[in-house]
A and B are shown apart, each in its own frame.
Chain A
Amino acid sequence: NAGVMQNPRHLVRRRGQEARLRCSPMKGHSHVYWYRQLPEEGLKFMVYLQKENIIDESGMPKERFSAEFPKEGPSILRIQQVVRGDSAAYFCASSLRGAGRGANVLTFGAGSRLTVL
């Protein structure tokens, strides 16, 4: 079991370019969460997806950010026209369940570190 796989681990973009971050959940997990971690800040929830559906995007900036989790392939977090303030570590997590009774453990990937020049 390879765990949650994220790539690329490091990405450098110039202002105005696009960044695409990929996440493959743990085997058997169909629930994916994206978090952003800024320097000196905690992990902030961005979006929760199941296969082909966005369930909760309450933490996503309204512009330039989008996420998808297609029927086949990894989940993708896309940032268009990046700005310096987008520089951060982006973490993906997956879980076996979404809603329901009982606490549900999220397993995190190693993160993708985006640097915008």
Chain B
Amino acid sequence: EDQVTQSPEALRLQEGESSSLNCSYTVSGLRGLFWYRQDPGKGPEFLFTLYSAGEEKEKERLKATLTKKESFLHITAPKPEDSATYLCAVQAEAGANSKLTFGKGITLSVRP
């Protein structure tokens, strides 16, 4: 069974204080690892897809990296508007569909 574990559950940062969010996963053949952002009362918003170990992707203050067992979402000099829940999910090669298995998410709060 595919599993995703995210840590820590919650993270409070001061504006400008860089940090990393962790996502550990087990999957029967990785088709893709996804990061989404979810704001309160809204649906998940797609950020990144990573396909293979060693891959990195960047968007503004966010950089996602991937190894064979983990992914990290690095946040550089965060701003209050980066406050949200960050979700990690895996998509397996096996099977007839593209369903995602999600972790519980990491709630990030950035204080001004």
- Taking beta carbons and an 8 Å cutoff, which residues of A are in contact with B? 4, 31, 33, 35, 40-45, 48, 55-56, 91, 95, 97-99, 102-111
Q: Which of A98, A104, A107, A109 has the most CB of B within 10 A?
A: A104
A43 touches B97 (CB 8 A): no
Q: Please name 13 pairs of A and B residues whose Cβ atoms are closer than 8 Å in the assembled complex, sorted by A.
A: A33-B97, A33-B98, A33-B100, A42-B103, A44-B102, A56-B96, A98-B96, A104-B31, A104-B91, A104-B98, A106-B100, A108-B44, A110-B41
| New contact pairs (18) apart from A98-B97, A99-B97, A102-B32, CB-CB < 8 Å | A33-B100, A35-B102, A42-B102, A43-B87, A43-B89, A55-B96, A98-B96, A99-B95, A99-B98, A102-B51, A103-B51, A104-B98, A105-B34, A105-B46, A105-B49, A106-B46, A108-B36, A109-B43
Question: Which residues of chain A are near B99, meaning CB under 8 Å?
Answer: 33, 45, 48, 56
Q: How far is the CA of A111 from the CA of B95 in the complex (A)?
A: 26
B43 touches A103 (CB 8 A): no
- Contact count A vs B, C-beta below 8 Å: 76
CB interface residues, B 1-49, toward A, < 8 Å: 4, 31-32, 34, 36, 41-46, 49
Tier of interface size on chain B: 20 to 34
Q: How far is the CA of A106 from the CA of B41 in the complex (A)?
A: 19
A106 touches B98 (CB 8 A): yes
Q: How far is the CA of A15 from the CA of B36 in the complex (A)?
A: 33
Ranked 9 nearest A-B pairs via Cβ: A103-B32, A108-B43, A104-B98, A42-B104, A43-B102, A42-B102, A48-B97, A108-B44, A110-B43
Judge whether B101 is part of the interface by a CB distance below 8 angstroms: yes
Q: How far is the CA of A97 from the CA of B98 in the complex (A)?
A: 8
